[in-house]
Chains A and B, each alone.
Chain A
């Protein structure tokens, strides 16, 4: 069966420090991968999505970047964190078949990031 792993679960980082969040998917190949952010009490904002290795689409210009070095690995990074980067970060995947509109997305358990 397919599983998604996201770590760490919680993270407290000082302003100006770098960030690296990792997400891996098991049990499937060529998934579409997604990074979302949810600010406290708000909805989910799509940050990045990827349909293949090295293919990254950015939805919101910001202080963050994403990379997909392997088929089932998706990394969210920042060189210098801002206070506004605090939030709940979620990784998700769906099958790469078709164009994704008729398949469900599976979400990880999230990383709660607090920038202090």
Chain B
């Protein structure tokens, strides 16, 4: 399973943009990049996913490097409710497994 590396923790001020990085240098051409987040005492929640092109949805944007060896989850305006652990996951074609790493704990300051 391809591995992802994320910073253990990050802080952001409320209503400011947040850029959460993820390195995946061993990514293969058929690996999709998924992001999930987990609020305290809850199950993870889907945020966004992509393959090669940048993606936007109502929750966030995903910026994928041209060589696909890294990606960045962008929260455009952080709120206190965005405080969570954010996981970057690679899903390989032909597999069914979501393999979670340790994630980044995001703290949002009021």
Binding site for B on A (CB under 8 A): 32, 34, 36, 42-46, 49, 51, 57, 59, 88, 90, 92, 94, 99-102, 104-110, 112
Contact = CB atoms under 8 A, between A and B. Distances in A.
A100 B49 contact: no
A22 B98 CA distance: 20
Interface in B89-105: 91-103
Contacts of A92: 43-44, 98
Contacts of A99: 93-96
Contact of A51 (B30, B51, B96, B100): B96
B93 A101 contact: yes
A42 B43 CA distance: 13
Nearest to A51: B96
Interface in B72-110: 87, 91-103
B96 A102 contact: no
* Contact size range, B: 20 to 34
Contact of A46 (B41, B42, B92, B97): B97
* Overall SS of chain B's interface: loop
12 contacts: A32-B96, A34-B98, A43-B102, A43-B103, A46-B97, A46-B99, A51-B96, A90-B44, A92-B98, A99-B95, A100-B91, A106-B46
B45 interface: yes
A101 B43 contact: no
A108 B43 contact: yes
B93 A104 contact: no
Contacts of A104: 34, 46, 49
A65 B61 CA distance: 38
Contacts of B49: 102, 104
A51 B51 CA distance: 23
B95 A100 contact: yes
Nearest to B98: A105
Given A59-B97, A104-B34, A109 B42 contact: yes
